[in-house]
Structures are given as structure tokens and as C-alpha cells.
Amino acid sequence: MKTILLDIGGTFIKRSDGRQFPISSEGSREGIVSSLRRAIGPQTGLEGIGVAIPGPFDFRNGIFLMEHKFASVYGKSFRELAGIPDSTSIRFMHDVNAALLGNICLLDLQDQNVALVTLGTGLGFSYALKGEIFTNEKGSPARGIWNLPYEGGILEDFVSGRGIRVRYSRKTGDATQSALSIAKRAFAGEKAALEIYARTGAILGEALAPILKELKIDVLLMGGQISRSMDLMKAPLQNALPGTPIMKAPEQAVFTGLETLFENN
């Protein structure tokens, strides 16, 4: 069965063949349509498409239901926007659940209680107990942490790419830097950037500590673009989670998870 696998984030669409295509989750309908169609490419002979995408999303019918991201295509069909004919099978999975499933397979964690945090444009969380991933009735992770109350806002306001940029701007007066450029400055030894990333790890650890204890989590996995800078956050994060091993998730894990959608074909 000829298939392609897509991981749709807030700034890039990643394909399992290693290619990446820019997309703006805050962009217009026309811009999102263009990005989807470029990422999918020629469809000659294509039989299936596996898609990892954030929620809220109708994973059964392929309908965008997000209001904070992809708002310009709210209520629209992925199939119609991407120009995919009815003859091509499309299967969807929440991106964090797909990554968690792939990590469990790749790291042989079927007998462990595992949680995955994804740090990128937003803040994702999913968990599995002895190999079973827990979801809600819509197919999203059973328990989110992005909207936990924190200092007059929500956790994602502080622990995400956006949160890092805003806090760095407040600290330095420089609003031009991305989370990546701030990380580069931290690795180069800039004090303000180091403090921002260290505080990000501490805030995340404080929020996770009671949840991981309640769920009896054995291993915490860290994924997403910002987790590439894990070395800047790990010490304060680990200090808040004594006794819980913290591992960086393999980046290809989301595609390993998506592959399971077609295992019976």
C-alpha cells in the first residue's frame, strides 16, 4: 500500500521522508490549503495518508475544530482542503498520542507507565499505563496540561515557544528573538537566555510533579522542537521530579506511531 505520513505542527509540516514544508497555523485559509497541498505533493498511485495533527480535531471525520490554531479553517474538511480524492484513505491520530505510541514501540516501554510532554508552538501531554494510551471520547489525550492555571494565565503561556519569547522580551526588552535564537544565545552563555530556559524547566516540573505522582509514571519523555534544547532545562526539571527518569524522545517516533494506522493493510 503506497502511503505518505504527515506530522502537522504550528509552523511546519513534516513528512516521513524527511522533507519539511512551512505552514502557519495562524494563517489564512488559502495559505493553509497551499501548505497542505505542497506537503502532500503528487498523488498518482497514492492509496493512503496518515496524519498526526493537534486537537481539538474530529479524528474520525477529518474536520478541523481548533480555535486557537488553524482558526481560519475551523469546521473545514481536511480532505477537501488538501484536495484528496475519496479513493484515497486518510487516517488521523492526535500528534501527541502518535508520538507517545511511537516512543513506546521504539524504546520498548510497553510494560512501563509513560508520560510524554511535547514542547513547541504549544504544550502537549499524553500518558500510557502499561502500553495503553488514555484518550478522551474525541481521540485527544485524556488529560491536558496546557490550560492549567498558572500565575494569572495558563501553563502554555509560560511553557511553550510563545512563552519563552514573551518572557525573554520582558526580561531583556528584545521582542525580535525566536525560541530557537534564544536557545542559541543560552548555549553561547548569555545569562538572560540561560535563566529563561532554566525557569521553563522549573515551571514545567512544578506543574508535572503531582500529576506524575498520581499516575505513577515510571518514565517521562520530552519531545517537540523546543525539547531539542533539553540540556538547558533538564537540571531544574529533574530537581522538581526526583526519582523520575527523563528521556529525550526520538524525533521519528510520531511516524512510527502513524505507521500502526496501516498495519492491517
Q: How confident is the model at residue 208 (pLDDT cuts 50, 70, 90)?
A: very high
For residues 87 and 103, state if they share a domain.
no
Residue numbers of the domain that contains 44: 3-94+255-262
Distant-in-sequence contacts of 229-233, Cβ < 8 A, 24+ apart: 229/183, 229/186, 229/187, 229/197, 232/183, 232/186, 232/187, 232/194, 232/197, 232/198, 232/201, 233/197, 233/198, 233/200, 233/201, 233/204
Instruction: Please compute Rg for the chain using Cα positions.
Output: 18
Number of domains in the chain: 2
For residues 90 and 134, state if they share a domain.
no
Instruction: Give yes or no for a contact between 116 and 144, defined as CB atoms under 8 angstroms apart.
Output: no
For residues 180 and 69, state if they share a domain.
no
Q: What's residue 250's pLDDT?
A: 87
pLDDT in tens, 90-108: 999 999 999 999 999 999 9
For residues 171 and 45, state if they share a domain.
no
Q: What's residue 189's pLDDT?
A: 97
For the chain, give the mean pLDDT: 93
**Which one, of 242, 204, 227, 220, lies nearest residue 112 by Cα?**
220
pLDDT at 265 over 70: no
pLDDT in tens, 115-168: 999 998 889 999 999 999 999 988 899 999 999 999 999 999 999 999 999 999
248 phi, psi to nearest 5 deg: -80, 130
Domain of 152, CATH number, reads 3.30.420.40
Q: How confident is the model at residue 251 (pLDDT cuts 50, 70, 90)?
A: confident
For residues 58 and 108, state if they share a domain.
no
pLDDT in tens, 175-184: 999 999 999 9
pLDDT at 79 over 60: yes
CB atoms inside a 10 Å sphere around CB 151: 9
For residues 87 and 136, state if they share a domain.
no
Report the predicted TM-score, pTM, of the whole model to 2 decimal places.
Answer: 0.89
For residues 166 and 126, state if they share a domain.
yes
CA distance 183 to 215: 31
Share of residues in the chain with pLDDT > 70 (%): 99
For residues 28 and 90, state if they share a domain.
yes
For residues 140 and 204, state if they share a domain.
yes
For residues 109 and 169, state if they share a domain.
yes
For residues 112 and 7, state if they share a domain.
no
For residues 242 and 112, state if they share a domain.
yes
